[in-house]
Structure 1
Amino acid sequence: MKRIDAITMIARKAEEKNSLIVCNIGLPSKELHHVKDRNGNFYMLGSMGLSSSIGLGLSLSVPKRHVIAIDGDGSVLMNMGSLATIAHQRPENYLLVVIDNGTYGSTGDQPTATSLGTDLGAVAKGAGIQDVYTTNNEKELEQTLKNVDRGVVIARVGAGNASVPIIGLSPEEIIERFMTECARPSE
C-alpha cells in the first residue's frame, strides 16, 4: 500500500462523516487534492510538522465537527510535543492519522527514524494517548478507519509519491473556502 492509497481511504471516511481534514505539507496535500478535493480539506502548503497541532486546535474550536489530521512520520518526528498535547486535551472529535512511509517523502525520500526502528505508536502511547492503533496493510487500515473516530492511527505504507498535478488553488482560496466550511453547522 502506498500513501495515496491510505489518503484515498481517509478521504472516503471524511466524506462519509462530513469531517474536516487538515493535510500534511507538500505531496500528501497534492495527493489528497487529486483523490478528493472538497471545501472541507485544508491543504498545508508550508509549516512542516504542524498538521497534528492545527488539527487539534481546529477540533477544539469547532467541537461539533469531526476533524481528521493527516500527518507524516517525518512531520510527527519534527513536532513530537503535539502528541503530549493531544493526550492531555483528548478531544472526542479528533483523529490523527500518521502515514508512516519511513521517509521524508516531500523532500526526496530521505529515511526517517521510523525506518531505523522508532515506533510512533509506542511514542504516542508514551505521550499519554490512550487510543492508538497501528496498521500494516490496506485491509487493517480500512477496518480501523471504519471503527475508529478518535485517537491516533499509525498507517504504515511503502515509500513513494504518486505522480499528481499541483493544487490549482491559491493559498487565499484554500483558506477562504475552508473557513467557510468550518463555520457551517454540522449535519
Structure 2
Amino acid sequence: MIRHDLLKTLIPVISDQLVVCNIGAPSQELHSLDDQPTNFYMLGTMGLASSIGFGLALAQDKPVISIDGDGSVLTNLATLSTIANNPRDNFILLIVDNGSYGSTGDQPTYAGRRTSLAAVARACGCETVIEVAAEDTPQALADALAAKRMTVIVSKCDSGNVQVPVITMNPITIRERFMAAVAE
C-alpha cells in the first residue's frame, strides 16, 4: 500500500480532527482526497509538520494529529526529543514511513535501510510508540485517539506517489481557515 492509499483509509478517522500534514505530495494527496478546514497543509518547511502540530497541541486541548514522513522526521530528529520531554496527551504523531523522500522522486531514506524511527522515538523517551503495517494504521490511529495518550505511530508502507493537482489555495487562506477551525 502506498501513502495515497494509506491516506484514503485514514479519512474516516481524521476528517473531523485537527491535522497538520507533511510538505509536498502528502499534503497534495490529502487535499485531493478530503479537503477540510481542519487540515493544515504544509507547502514549505520540510521537517516541521511534527513540530507545528506539537506546538498546536501545547497551545490548546483539542486532539492534534501530525502526519509526517520518514524523510521529514529524519531532517528534524530533535522534534522526537521535544515531544518525549513535554508529553501532551492530545498529540499523535503519525510517521508515514515509506523509506523514501516521496515528494522529490522517491530517493531512499535511511529509514528504508537500517534506521528504525520507532526505535529512535523510544530512545528519545517517547513512551507510547507503535509500529504498524499500512493496513493496520486506521485502527492504530483510532485506538490512539480513544486512549487520549500521546502516541507516535510509525506506519510502514510502500514507496510511490499518485499524481494529484497541486494545492492552489493561498497559504494565507490555508492558515486562516485552519485557525478558524481551531477556534471553533
Looking at structure 2, the residues matched to 147 and 50 of structure 1 have their Cα atoms a distance apart, in angstroms, of: 25
1:85 alignment partner AA: T
1:7 alignment partner AA: L
Match of 1:107 in 2: 104
The CA deviation at 1:11 is: 3.0
Match of 2:22 in 1: 24
Match of 1:51 in 2: 49
Q: Which of 16, 38, 41 matches 2:39?
A: 41
Looking at structure 2, the residues matched to 143 and 176 of structure 1 have their Cα atoms a distance apart, in angstroms, of: 31
The CA deviation at 1:142 is: 2.5
Aligned-partner SS, 1:166: coil
The CA deviation at 1:147 is: 1.1
The CA deviation at 1:165 is: 1.1
1:80 alignment partner AA: L
Q: Which of 119, 124, 128 matches 1:127?
A: 124
The CA deviation at 1:7 is: 1.5
For normalisation by structure 1, the TM-score amounts to 0.93
1:158 alignment partner AA: D
Alpha carbons of 1:92 and 1:107: their partners in 2 closer, same or farther (altered >3 Å)? same
Alignment of 1:24-173 (within 5 A): 24-63=22-61, 65-138=62-135, 140-149=136-145, 150-173=150-173
Consecutive unaligned residues of structure 2, counting only runs of 5 or more, are: none
The 8 Å contact of residues 18 and 64 in structure 2, kept in 1 or not, is answered as: yes
Looking at structure 2, the residues matched to 7 and 85 of structure 1 have their Cα atoms a distance apart, in angstroms, of: 26
For these two proteins, the number of residue pairs brought into alignment is: 180
For normalisation by structure 2, the TM-score amounts to 0.94
Looking at structure 2, the residues matched to 23 and 75 of structure 1 have their Cα atoms a distance apart, in angstroms, of: 11
Consecutive unaligned residues of structure 1, counting only runs of 5 or more, are: none
Looking at structure 2, the residues matched to 31 and 143 of structure 1 have their Cα atoms a distance apart, in angstroms, of: 21
Match of 1:10 in 2: 10
Alpha carbons of 1:137 and 1:41: their partners in 2 closer, same or farther (altered >3 Å)? closer
Looking at structure 1, the residues matched to 134 and 43 of structure 2 have their Cα atoms a distance apart, in angstroms, of: 28
Looking at structure 1, the residues matched to 163 and 53 of structure 2 have their Cα atoms a distance apart, in angstroms, of: 26
Match of 1:174 in 2: 174
